[in-house]
Structure formats: structure tokens, C-alpha cells
Structure 1
Amino acid sequence: MTEPLDVAPQPATTAPKRTPTAVDAVAEHYVARLAELSPQFAVNVGLPGRRGALDDVSPDGYEALADLRTATLCELDGVEPGDDVDRVTVAAMRERLGIEQELADAGEDLRVLNNIDSPVQWVRDLFDIMPTATVGDWEDVASALRDVPRALDGYLVSLGLARDRGLLPAARQVRAVIGQCRDQAEASTSSFEALIAAAATADGVPVGDRLAADLRDAGATAREAYAHTATALERDALPGALEDDAVGAERYERFSRLFLGARVDLDETYEWGRALLADVDAQQRRTAQELYGPGTSVREALERLSADPARTVHGTRALQEWMQATSDEAVAALDGVHFDLPAELRRLECRIAPSQTGGIYYTGPSDDFSRPGRMWWSVPAGTEDFATWQERTTVFHEGVPGHHLQIGLQTWLRGELNSWRRLACWVSGHGEGWALYAERLMADLGFQDDPADRMGMLDSQRLRAARVVLDIGVHLGKERPVELADLPGVGPGRWDAASAWVFLRHQVAMEESFLRFELDRYLGWPGQAPSYSIGQRLWEEARDEARARGEGLKDFHMRALRLGSVGLDVMREALAG
């Protein structure tokens, strides 16, 4: 792997110090208890915990989490905020734990099942970030692999209880998860096998014959558990599953608040999404003609860009090297000019993920920065060519000034923010909204002046705008707008999966397999995909309000990011104070 460059133009900065308060004590106790209840949370954020165990996603496990939330909210009622940091902590914890409990009371934790964010994926993806630097680390990996059957069996119990209560999953999501389980059960497609195959050489650790054999046996046990889960879902969950993908207004409103940390008018937001999509389309039309002359359509420009060898890298090694170089250049250019990066954040590792799902994602640094922030690209099997014009904006989204700056900074603020603020609070509309805001910001700052790169950024923005319209349209059962009804083979009527597919194909020029996965994601994870564009909108509104008060752009960015990831209503109130 190409190592990140030494991009440290500024001297190391010192994290601020603040005397912990009674509010901080409540937050710290919550995080410590959460790390006990959720070994996977502890691994994700780099806290001490049971490295060789997985979460309990049975009804008993969810009840323990509910008890923790209830106790913590009661503790918050008994303490007085000592300063502005405390006031944000109290507001943010009440908002987060409150909406989480609302969803639990409605049975959403028991019934969670979709193609991207449910226990089947939580278990699988944990192994991408488990430590592997020592023999002891690999022993923990083997132990956690052996724990997969218990974890997935507990999940099946939760799904069964949800069914008994009439909380049925969507058939589309059941079928998608069955397919993922079967892929994970097969040695040729299992990410567990890729992990184990690397054990002998990863980080130069000689695992030895006995541990290598133990890892192989543990991997087989984990794969068998996924095979059993596929069979159980096909037998028990699929026959009574719902063919209707829409969740309805009541459930959707709760999910929207979960992902935004804000209340928005969903009808107004739907119409705003339509207008935003039309505006991005107009910008793309102008850019297409700038690239290839008058009369060039957006789709033709995209096809020509994709076929341009000068804008393509071949092979995963070249992709990783390009990602790393692009990230390093951004860090060097932005640090000290548009943002102030602590020394620990000037390092971002770009890696190819062992899985092959097609996703691109970021994992934050460990609490002590012994594990740096990382951008991962999960390359589908057989994919060898990668369009740099399309993905430059993705590096900015996942790296700097996107997720790496945002998540890394809140992790670094150990002396100012308590552990809950730094490690345990993640609001999609805040985090993904910031990353999408960062994409547009990089264009505004001149980093996307090449019209091809700008077309890639606009294509990203177009996808996110289309998701606002599609997601709200389907789940709230809205009438199809004229721009959808007029598409071939659609016509008037309510949004559904079939019309959503035609709409997505019309709006987004991406491979069919990727779009199929994306559509299943929107249908099974309501409210999450729109949080990117809606979050970007709320970030831009907060920036404009700060400018109206006379605050400089850099000062606004650093002040806002120092809050950590909080609900967007909490952020706006804190910034206005």
C-alpha cells in the first residue's frame, strides 16, 4: 500500500483543556456502560472492551440498551450545566437518546432488516476494522468469528418477536439480506476468507500454524452461521413479509428526526428537492456543453468522460495510489489556509476494503489515534477501471474537508468534549450533510475547476437530490410528479418501487448493479439517504446566517466543527448563541 505523504506544513497544535463537569460525568458513564454492552461500539471507536465478542442483538440486549438510555436521561435531569459546552451536551443527549427510545418503543430495533444497516452487515463489517497488529489481536479475531452464531441467533429471536407483534419486514429487504448471507457463507465470496487469507502476512505478524488453523476453523463457523441465517430468513421471515415498501408518514417522520436531529416539513422538503434536482440538471447541461460543445447532452458527456483513458486509472493498486495522492494534496492545500488541522489529522490512509460490495466509506481514528482515519473502497469483483473525474469529489467527501476532518477533529478534542460528544454521537444529517457540503465547498474554493471534475461533483449532487424526491415520494405515498409521470412506461399514480427505478435510471448514469443496490437501500432505510442533501441545506443555511452576522468562513467552519456531530437543530441553536 502506498503510504500517506508527510503533509505537515503547520506545527502540531495542542488540544484545548477544560475541567470536567457533572454533565461530563453523566456522559462518560454512559459511554463506559455502552462499551460494556456493545463490544462492537468499543472496537469502532477504539475504546477498551471485549475484543473477541460481538453485540447482543437479541431482545435482552436491546432491553439493556433501553435501560441505559432511561437511566442516563434521569441522571441528566439531576445535574445543572456549568457552561456552554454542557448546555450543548445536555440538549444533544436528550435529543439523541430521546429519539432512539421513541424508535425502540415502536419496535424498530427488533425489526431492523435491510440491505445496508442491520445486524447482518454490522457483524460482517466489524472485521474490517478489528486490530490485527499482534498475535493477540488475531486471537481476538478468531474469538469474534466463533461468536457470530450466537450474535445472529439472537438477531433471529428479535425478528421473531417483531413478527409476533405484527411488525413485519419488507420482502424486498428480506430477499436482499438472504442473498448477502449466502454470499458470506460461500468461501469464494466471503469477506471472512479474505481476512483470514491475509493473516499470515498482515502487518508482518507471524500467526503460527496453530492460530492459522484456529482462524480457518473460526471462519468456517462464521460462514455456517450466515448460511443458517439465510435458511431461517427464507423459512420464517419471507413468507409473511410485506410486498409494499412504503413505511408511511408516522414511521417516516421518526426516521427523519433520527437521521437529521431536526424537524423538517416533509412536504416542503419534497418540493425543495424537486427544485434542487432541476437546478443541478441545468448546471450539468451547461458543463456538458463546456466540455464537448453546443448540443452535447449530459448523458453523452458522461459517457465520453467514462471512455476517456486520460481520466481513468486501471487496477486496484493504481486506484489506491490515486486516492492517497488526491487526499494528500487536499490536506496540504487546505491546512492553515481554509482549515486548521491538528497534526494527527494530516494523516489519512486510503485503502482497498477486503469486501466487494461497491461501497466507499470512512472509518474514524481510534480514540488515541494509534489507528488513523481511513477511507475504504470496496471494489466489486471484476471491476478494474475507475473514473477519476467522477470520484475526485468522493475523496473530498470521505477525507478532507469531509468526514476525516469532521470526525477526526471531534475525536482529537479530548480536553474539550466528553467521550459521548467525541465518540458516541453520530447524526447522519450533520455528518453526511457536512461531507456533501464539503464537496460543493471544494468546487467553490477552486478545486473542481476542471469541468470534468465539476461534472463529477454535480453528478454526486444530482444523485443526492434525486434521493430526496424518491425517498419521500415512495415512503409517503405521494402522487408522481410530472417529471416522473412523463417518463416512458410510467404515467400517473403513486410512487412505488417500479416507478422509482425508472426515475433513478433517468436521473443517474451509473451501473445497473449499483443502482439496484441503491434503490433497495432507499426503500429499506427510510429517511437516511435524504439526510445528505437536507443536511447540506441546513449547513448552508447556518453558514449564511453566520456570514450575515459578519463571521468569516474559516471561523464559522472551525467553530461549527468543534461542536462535534450533534443534531442539526441543536447545532443551529448553539451557533446562534
Structure 2
Amino acid sequence: MEKKFSAAIAGACMLLAAVTVTAAAHADPAPAIKPGPADAQFKAIYTQEWKWRISQKQEEEEDDDNGVSASLPRIDAATQAKRLAYWQAVMKKLDGISQDKLSAPERINYQVYKTQIAALIAGQVFREYEKPLNADSAFWSNMASGARKPLTNEKQFHDYLKQLAETPRYFNEEMDNMRAGLARGFTPPKVTLIGRDASITSVTDAKTPQDTVFYLPFKTMPATMPAAQQEALRAEGVKAIQAYVLPAYAKLLKFMREEYVPKAREALAAESLPDGKAYYQSKIVEFTTTTMSADQIHKIGLSEMAKIRAEMHDVIKQTGFEGDLPAFLQFLRTDARFYAKTPEELLMRSAWVAKKFDAKVGQYFGYLPRRRFAVIPVPDDQAPFYTSGRGGPGVYLVNTYNLPARALYSMPALTLHESAPGHAFQMPVAMEQKGRPPFRNAYISAYGEGWALYSERLGVEMGMYETPYEVFGMLSYQAWRASRLVVDTGIHSKGWTRKQAQDYLHDNTALSDHEIETEVDRYISWPGQALSYYLGEMSIINARKKAEAALGAKFDVRAFHDTVLQLGSVPLPVLEARIDLFIAEGGKSPYPNQD
């Protein structure tokens, strides 16, 4: 049985690698092919699978930002086995399609989709559903985040009430899966779970149901709804939270404190997990969309860190500071001038950077997304273990917890990454493209994080950094992401300790000790994800350099950026091939009326 299981895992890793290699092999510009039977065959496969995926609640409905499901997903072991069989059958169908017979748009769709299905299969084969939490997030905090979405009509409120009633069943299934993972040593490392029950106690310690996050939708109800109806729904909300949510959270808290955390594994490395080497390699392929080994990535990280340190020394000279890099980092971490006094000051500084970008955007982008974004603080129950910021369609979350850990000189780089032209800009651009199948809106980390990190570098060119300290903040963030190549592979493949990883970030970035601790725990509990940022940025930078060299005076940075963003989230080989086509076409914009 063990041999069969290992063979299945090895097969999944080979499949992921093969998909990436195939994408690279077929990514060169090809003669135009009109839509034909192959297109129709492929569309039928992904249309049917996507509808099924929605029914399984593995994805949200397209354009369903504020809706709410009337139920929570089924996640028991039998359901998971059926999902594996379904996706394996889909892959078999995909293997029967010749990419060379697909039209150009569908060929890109095929490369994206097949990579996506391969990652879904690998997740099922490795039974990642048995580890539904990490140091950054967990199934219960994700559910709580959903409760913060405003509801706009009576149906949504009734659907929300039905969802709350499903909490006990859903939590029980999650805990059953976690017990199965516990039995085979497939858990996050224990050290990354310490204190993470705070996001559970924020619910269990509430004095009344009205004090929980799950009551938030009932606090601001549509003004058009009659008062009596509002009162009735509020009463039902209190009853549902009291009867279903609070007992489920209490049971979860007991499980975490008495059963799960005490027995979680002590080892840090992903390679120490069952079939760990194959598992970690599968995460590398998933998050980087390359077939590089851990050793190759580690060496790239060391090389890039050396380059960034040289840049840092040049900037330190510009500040007039007399001392070495460690002394300068200590100065940045301790001087009060670099830190906000209030959460409002941090939020306002972030908003100011975002508005400064608006004054520059027309010089660097032709197509602008219609979707705006708000700047809001990270919720209190998540903030202590949350990253410094996070952005996406409609929102830029800024962590105002522990202000002495949130350097103002880093805010320009953070804001460019998370808001515009980073995540809150890139994602809406992709979603606004017409005629694209909904699976293309799925997030590919190497592309999305690579673009966001490229946005930080672009800030230099755009004149977004006003002082050498802000430039150094950008370089510190570049070092932060390059050091992840060293730290992630060090932890998961080379036997690094938690302290080794923390010391490496402390010695090479200006991150605060609090940020270093939360970040390292994130890398420990989320293998491979941290590798996507810098490798993605390198791919975009190299593609731009190639285009600039080939096109010379014909190179238009707006057309280049529009081409990258119009493509949407794709594996890096597909992006690189698209820029080859951009060069072959003379550097024209993907939006003809903006040439």
C-alpha cells in the first residue's frame, strides 16, 4: 500500500513538471489557426469541469463578490476521493487533445488550465485537505472573513443563515481530516501553531452573539428593508450564532488545544513529511511554474542577495550614515522618526502613496481598470499573525497592529505591491478582459506575486520614492523576497532551524523582529509559496530587457505593461512566450485604440 501511494505521489509530481515543460515547448509564436473541432472539444471539457467545480464550492461564481452561499463545502474523505477521480479523468481527456490544433487563444487557455488541473490533482494525491491551516490563515478565519462581506437583499440574509447552520458539520469534517493528517504526521510544525487559537477565542470569548464577527452583516442592513423584517432577521441571526456557530467554535478550540497542537509534528522541513521530497518538489512546481530544484533555487537566492546588498551599500552612502549594514539596519529599526504614532497615520500614509501613483499611471499604463480599491486596516482578530499588508480586487489591507513594527519608509514599496499597480490593479485588469473562461481568473502565484514585486522596482523608475530611506525600504523588500529563495529552501530542503531563518532575514533586511517572526513561521507552514515572488519578478524583468533590446526605439513601456497584464495570471513560460510574440509583432499594444 505504501509503495502504491508513493508511486502515485511521484506520478503527480512528474505530471506537474510535464505540464510546465509542455507549456514552454508550445509557447512559441505559432501560425494562426481558426477555431475548429479541437477548440470545441477543449471548451466542452473545461466548461463542464468548471460548473462541477462551482457545485463543489471549490470556486466562487464569476462576478459574485457580495453573494453568499447557502451551504459550506463538503470536505469529507469520501468527497475528496471523488474529486481526485474526477480531476484525473479530466486530465486524461486533456491528454487526448493536440495543442497544435488549437487556436492561439485556446492554446494559452489549455496551458493555463492543464497546469491548474495538475496542481489540483497533486493537492488531492498528497491529501493537502488534511492540513487546512498554516501560520498565515486557517479554514475558520477564512470563514470569519466571509462574514465581513455586506449583504444587500433578503435572499442573501437567508442564505447566510443557512450557511451558519452548516458550521458544526463543516467544522467536524475539517477536524476529521486534521485527525487523519495528525495520524500520519501531516501537520504544520507545532511552533507555527502557538498562539494561533487567538482567532478562535475572538469568537468563543464574545459575551454575546452580537459581539462576534458573524453578526456583522446584521449591524448594517439595507435601508430599503422594512424595520420589522430587519428585526426578524437579526433575531434569527442571534439564534443561529448561539445554536450553531458558538458550539462549533468551542469544540474546535478544545480540539486545537487538547488534541491537535500538542501532537503536531516538531520537525520544520516539508521534506520530513510523508514522501516529503516529492511533496516539496510538487510545491516548487506549483508556486514557481518551473521545474527547478530546491538546490538551484537556493543558489539563485544567494546570488541575488549579493547583488541587492551592493545596491544597499550605495544607498546607505547617499543617506550620509557612517557605519556598516548591521548598524544601519539597527538605526532603521529603532529611530522613532520612521514609525507612525497612530493607526490612522499609517493608513493615511498608505493612501497618500496610492494617490501619488494616480498622478503617474498614465505614463506607464494604457489600460486602467474600472475597479477602485479601499484602504482598510487588517481586522483585529487576524492582525497579530497577519502579514504587513495584502491587496486584491477592491481592497488594500494595511496591518496597523504593533506600529513599531511597521516602518514608514517601507510603505511606498508595500503600497505599490498590494494596491496599484500591484494586486488591486492587476487582478481587476485580468477580470475585465472579455471572452475569457472563468478559470483564467484563478491566481497563479509566480505571475501575480512576480508582478507585484516588479511593481515595487517600477516605483524607482516612476519617481515614487522621495528619500534614500524609501529607496532602501524598497531594496529591503527586494532582499526580503530574494532571501525567501534561500530561507524556504533552507528550511524545507537543507535542514535549517527556525532561528537560522530568522537570523538570515534579520541580517539582510530592515524588517522588524515581529515581522521576521511572523514571516518565517509563514514560510515554515506554507512550503514553496515564498519562492514565487522573486522568481516571478525575475521573469518579468528579463522579458522586459529582452523586449527593450529587440525593439530599441520602438519599445513602449505602456504597451509592454498592458501586454503583461492583459494576459492575466499564467505560468511563467506562457508569459515569456507572449513577450516573444510582442517582440515579433513590433511591440504593439494589445489594445489597438491605444497604440
Q: Same fold (TM over 0.5)?
A: yes
Match of 2:379 in 1: 354
Select 2:279's aligned residue among 232, 235, 251.
251
SS of equivalent residue, structure 1 residue 56: coil
CA separation of 1:117/1:190 partners in 2, compared to 1, >3 Å: closer, same or farther? farther
Contact 2:377 2:400 in 1 (8 A): yes
Q: Does 1:419 align with 2:438?
A: yes
Separation in 1 of the partners of 2:75 and 2:509?
A: 36
Q: In the TM superposition, what is the alpha-carbon distance from 1:170 to its structure 2 partner?
A: 2.7
Q: Does 1:69 align with 2:87?
A: yes
Separation in 2 of the partners of 1:98 and 1:234?
A: 35
Select 1:146's aligned residue among 128, 145, 165.
165
Match of 1:340 in 2: 366
Structure 1 residue runs of 5 or longer lacking an equivalent are 1-17, 366-372, 478-493
Match of 2:452 in 1: 435
Contact 1:194 1:354 in 2 (8 A): no
Match of 1:328 in 2: 355
Q: In the TM superposition, what is the alpha-carbon distance from 1:270 to its structure 2 partner?
A: 0.8
Contact 1:30 1:420 in 2 (8 A): no
Separation in 2 of the partners of 1:323 and 1:202?
A: 30
Q: Does 1:267 align with 2:295?
A: yes
Separation in 2 of the partners of 1:387 and 1:575?
A: 36
- Return the structure number with greater helix share: 2
Percent of paired sites with the same residue: 21
Deviates more, 1:314-323 or 1:42-51: 42-51
Contact 1:459 1:508 in 2 (8 A): yes
Q: In the TM superposition, what is the alpha-carbon distance from 1:476 to its structure 2 partner?
A: 0.6
1:390-539, aligned counterparts within 5 Å?
Answer: 390-415=410-435, 417-421=436-440, 423=441, 425-477=442-494, 494-539=495-540
What is the CA deviation profile of residues 403-446 of structure 1, one whole-angstrom value per residue up to 9, with x for unaligned ones? 1222111100023x21111x2x2111111111001101111332
1:50-69, aligned counterparts within 5 Å?
Answer: 51-69=69-87
Match of 2:127 in 1: 107
Separation in 2 of the partners of 1:564 and 1:197?
A: 34
SS of equivalent residue, structure 2 residue 151: coil
Select 1:185's aligned residue among 195, 200, 204.
204
SS of equivalent residue, structure 2 residue 374: strand
Q: In the TM superposition, what is the alpha-carbon distance from 1:166 to its structure 2 partner?
A: 5.5
What is the CA deviation profile of residues 503-544 of structure 1, one whole-angstrom value per residue up to 9, with x for unaligned ones? 333334444433322221111111111211122122222222
Letter aligned with residue 474 of structure 2: M
How many residues align? The count is 528
Separation in 2 of the partners of 1:218 and 1:341?
A: 46
Contact 1:114 1:177 in 2 (8 A): no
TM-score normalised over the length of structure 2: 0.79
Letter aligned with residue 350 of structure 1: V
Q: In the TM superposition, what is the alpha-carbon distance from 1:295 to its structure 2 partner?
A: 3.0
Match of 2:562 in 1: 558
Match of 1:233 in 2: 256
SS of equivalent residue, structure 1 residue 46: coil
Deviates more, 1:296-305 or 1:440-449: 296-305
Match of 2:397 in 1: 376
Select 2:572's aligned residue among 568, 572, 575.
568
SS of equivalent residue, structure 2 residue 279: helix
Match of 1:172 in 2: 191
Compute the RMSD of aligned alpha carbons: 3.3
Match of 1:209 in 2: 231
What is the CA deviation profile of residues 114-136 of structure 1, one whole-angstrom value per residue up to 9, with x for unaligned ones? 222442343233334x3433454
SS of equivalent residue, structure 2 residue 323: coil
Q: In the TM superposition, what is the alpha-carbon distance from 1:317 to its structure 2 partner?
A: 3.8
Contact 1:28 1:419 in 2 (8 A): no
CA separation of 1:502/1:191 partners in 2, compared to 1, >3 Å: closer, same or farther? farther
Contact 1:172 1:243 in 2 (8 A): yes
SS of equivalent residue, structure 1 residue 400: coil
CA separation of 1:229/1:442 partners in 2, compared to 1, >3 Å: closer, same or farther? same
Letter aligned with residue 453 of structure 2: L
CA separation of 1:202/1:317 partners in 2, compared to 1, >3 Å: closer, same or farther? farther
Separation in 2 of the partners of 1:192 and 1:567?
A: 44
Q: Does 1:279 align with 2:307?
A: yes
CA separation of 1:315/1:166 partners in 2, compared to 1, >3 Å: closer, same or farther? closer
Select 1:33's aligned residue among 38, 42, 52.
52
What is the CA deviation profile of residues 170-209 of structure 1, one whole-angstrom value per residue up to 9, with x for unaligned ones? 3234545445433443328999824635742477677733
Match of 2:265 in 1: 242
Contact 2:369 2:428 in 1 (8 A): no
Letter aligned with residue 568 of structure 1: L
CA separation of 1:464/1:218 partners in 2, compared to 1, >3 Å: closer, same or farther? farther
Contact 2:405 2:513 in 1 (8 A): no
Q: Does 1:224 align with 2:247?
A: yes
Contact 2:447 2:569 in 1 (8 A): yes
Contact 1:315 1:384 in 2 (8 A): no
Q: In the TM superposition, what is the alpha-carbon distance from 1:71 to its structure 2 partner?
A: 3.8
SS of equivalent residue, structure 1 residue 376: strand
Q: In the TM superposition, what is the alpha-carbon distance from 1:399 to its structure 2 partner?
A: 1.6
SS of equivalent residue, structure 2 residue 400: coil
Letter aligned with residue 212 of structure 1: R
Contact 1:402 1:438 in 2 (8 A): yes
Contact 2:171 2:248 in 1 (8 A): yes
Match of 1:368 in 2: none
Separation in 2 of the partners of 1:162 and 1:474?
A: 21
Letter aligned with residue 244 of structure 1: A
Letter aligned with residue 348 of structure 1: F
CA separation of 1:466/1:363 partners in 2, compared to 1, >3 Å: closer, same or farther? closer
Separation in 1 of the partners of 2:241 and 2:523?
A: 31
Separation in 1 of the partners of 2:270 and 2:322?
A: 44
CA separation of 1:383/1:91 partners in 2, compared to 1, >3 Å: closer, same or farther? same
Match of 2:6 in 1: none
Separation in 2 of the partners of 1:531 and 1:265?
A: 13
Separation in 1 of the partners of 2:208 and 2:115?
A: 41
Match of 2:318 in 1: 290
CA separation of 1:143/1:25 partners in 2, compared to 1, >3 Å: closer, same or farther? same
Contact 1:183 1:190 in 2 (8 A): no
TM-score normalised over the length of structure 1: 0.81
Separation in 1 of the partners of 2:477 and 2:209?
A: 30
CA separation of 1:410/1:283 partners in 2, compared to 1, >3 Å: closer, same or farther? same
Q: In the TM superposition, what is the alpha-carbon distance from 1:154 to its structure 2 partner?
A: 0.9
What is the CA deviation profile of residues 305-362 of structure 1, one whole-angstrom value per residue up to 9, with x for unaligned ones? 87455x6554344443443342233134213x211234514x2222224344243555
Q: In the TM superposition, what is the alpha-carbon distance from 1:401 to its structure 2 partner?
A: 1.4
